[in-house]
Amino acid sequence: MKEVSIMAFDYGSESLGIRNPFKMEGFIRACRGLIVTLMGVYPLLQVAEVIQQDKALAWVYAIIGFVLLSGGLRSLGGGSFQMLRFFVGRSVPTSLAPNLSKSERETSKLEQPAYRSIDLEEMLMGRKNKTFLEPDGFISRLVHTLVPKLIFLPYPLRNIAQRYAGAVIATAVALMAFALTWFVSVTGLIGNIGDILLPFFAFFLMLYLILSWRKASTVYRSAERTIEAQGNIALAKIIAFAILAPVILGLGLNWLLQQTEIQALYSELQHASLEPFAVLPPLLLLLALMSISGVLIMLLLKERTQQVKAITRVSEFRDNWQENIHPRELFVNIDSIVMANRRYKEIPNRIYRELEPKLNEQSSSKGDFTGEVMIETQPEYAPLPQTSLFKTLRLMATLFGQILLLAGPIILFFMLYEAKTVLNLWQDYQAITSATDSQHLQALIALFNESQFLLSLLFLWLIASSFGRLLENYSHTFWAELNFQSLLIYLKCEGTYTESKLTTGKGIYDSTASENYVMRSSLTPWIISSRITTSTFADSGAKNVEHPRHIMEMEDNQAEMQAILDDIQSFLSDRETIARIKNSTDLSSAEQIYKINQQSRAIPVQNDQASLASPQQDAAASSSITNKNSG
């Protein structure tokens, strides 16, 4: 069995403020599961009584009971699981690019970032957002043309819009093909075969539409990583079905009618009171549910697009600094102090490009350097403001989806009694041993007509469950969206440096001095920062907020940029170039040396022995010598 990697729950005393977004949805789902579970228990309790009368009917009760019970327990368990505690560690959400931070070495291996560091650099440098991919295919372009702001929504929301539009187009093309088949059948253009072709094609039409909408109701987790293609191939499949299905059915029925036995049976059935397949009730139900679901989904997407800003602005700083500083010290200060002071709730920053300054020493006293770093602060949970209409529509979509999923088991529960009637007719048909062919035919017709009604109930159940699943999955996407805000910074610095010697405090009579080697650097920094809004989609379970995160907005932040520059300038201006005494012991020693020097200079010069004298004595002696010479 393949092991699934799960990110650790990195607990911290300070919460990130992310609450469980699925409590209401889980409660509604659990209520539906409880009702279906109780419905499944009833047939199972009746099995012991029914088996004494009819074993076949007992098997029907048992199978339907198990189906209802398993489906109810699955919904009850899933809904209850959504209502449990939402565990959120300090490592969520997923990083935008591979995280090189030393504190996240193990966690970063389990992440699946949506970008590379070079992608983020291109977005900052080029003032562009690579998240907004161009739609691929005819259907995708059609949907994005009708809803222009759809391109600025996260991938899952764009994908459900495309999936729904593709199912609508498939339904429209299939209905046009059915209308054409109905026309040629009613007008007699294909002869007597039209009376048989139309019911068969109606059956396959409903089967095709149900399969199309069940496929459209599926939401894949892979859809959150990129935009799906709804193009010419999908449209070609739809048109091919519409054209080829009537032709293939017509050829197949024409071959069957050429058989002798089938011709005899067909001639008898023409005079029988057979009920045709009632395509109109399930078709009307499908169109009604398609319209209601479409209105709910489109209104939800419209309300979500009202929050779109699609901003791609950044703050930029470029300049040239002449400072007495080693280049490596500047990078260390930015990484360890400037950006560390901007951590959110003391959570380490995300490092997408590690600080590795490269110094090219051309000689012992000069050289050039270059270095860059890309950092994102811990994303802060910032839910989008939701209107009351959006909340109402989302709740209505969830409730309506659960009601449709509940309608399916109710129809299946009602089929128990219809199954009993069909079994009785089948037993009556088998009991006819010495009756005439006419009696056999009448019993077969009665069995066929009752089976038609059972088949219609089955189609109604499949249609209700398909659209219920569609609304459940689509509305879940709107519940799951989480938004964050963070500061993304890219720093690139180049320049040259030279080394010089600085000596201070060296007097004529006092040798106490400070000699320092100063690194004079010419710095050309290029800083780009942006306050970004990112989006991800949560889930219930161990990997609740560990899914890919995408950038939705990029806003300039002149105030934060100026604060960063002020911190750097403060560091540069407060640095010491000259060494100074910082403890009382060294200061006392320097004072003693100074006193000794003063006392030494106070001793007069005697007997040609060069002794030190004070500066005042040297000046008096020089003046006396000058006066004597002049005299």
The C-alpha atoms of residue 240 and residue 258 are separated, in whole angstroms, by: 27
Low-confidence ranges of the chain (pLDDT < 70): 1-15, 184-197, 221-223, 229-239, 241-277, 363-364, 422, 424-451, 500-518, 574-584, 586-587, 589-591, 593-594, 596-598, 600-631
The C-alpha atoms of residue 3 and residue 235 are separated, in whole angstroms, by: 39
Give the pLDDT confidence score for residue 299 in this predicted structure.
94
Q: What is the number of alpha carbons within 13 Å of residue 136 lying toward its C-beta?
A: 8
* Cis, bond preceding 43 (omega within 30 deg of 0): no
439-472: buried (b, 16+ CB within 10 Å) or exposed (e) per residue?
eebbbbbebeebbbeeebbebbbbbbbbbbbbbb
pTM, whole model, 2 decimals? 0.79
- Asked if 396 and 514 touch (Cβ cutoff 8 Å), the reply is no
609 three-state secondary structure: strand
The C-alpha atoms of residue 43 and residue 317 are separated, in whole angstroms, by: 74
Residue 522 tokens, joined: 């010419």
Cβ neighbours, 10 Å, residue 10: 15
Strand pairing of 380-381 and 481-504? antiparallel
Give the pLDDT confidence score for residue 418 in this predicted structure.
73
The C-alpha atoms of residue 59 and residue 611 are separated, in whole angstroms, by: 127
Residue 42 tokens, joined: 């009833």
The C-alpha atoms of residue 319 and residue 204 are separated, in whole angstroms, by: 72
Whole-Å CA distances, 14 to 17, 106, 344, 379: 9, 22, 10, 14
Give the pLDDT confidence score for residue 518 in this predicted structure.
66
Whole-Å CA distances, 306 to 157, 302, 509: 14, 7, 80
Cβ neighbours, 10 Å, residue 189: 9
The C-alpha atoms of residue 494 and residue 318 are separated, in whole angstroms, by: 11
Using CA of residue 246, residue 249, residue 255, residue 260, what is the dihedral sign? negative
Q: Nearest-5° angle of CA 441, CA 446, CA 447?
A: 95
The C-alpha atoms of residue 61 and residue 55 are separated, in whole angstroms, by: 10
- Asked if 339 and 378 touch (Cβ cutoff 8 Å), the reply is no
Look up residue 451 and give its amino acid: S
**Mean of the per-residue pLDDT values for the chain?**
78
Give the pLDDT confidence score for residue 376 in this predicted structure.
92
Look up residue 243 and give its amino acid: I
At 167, give phi and psi (nearest 5°).
Answer: -70, -35
Give the pLDDT confidence score for residue 477 in this predicted structure.
92
Question: Among candidates 580, 153, 164, 575, which has minimal Cα distance to 397?
Answer: 164
Strand pairing of 481-504 and 358-361? unpaired
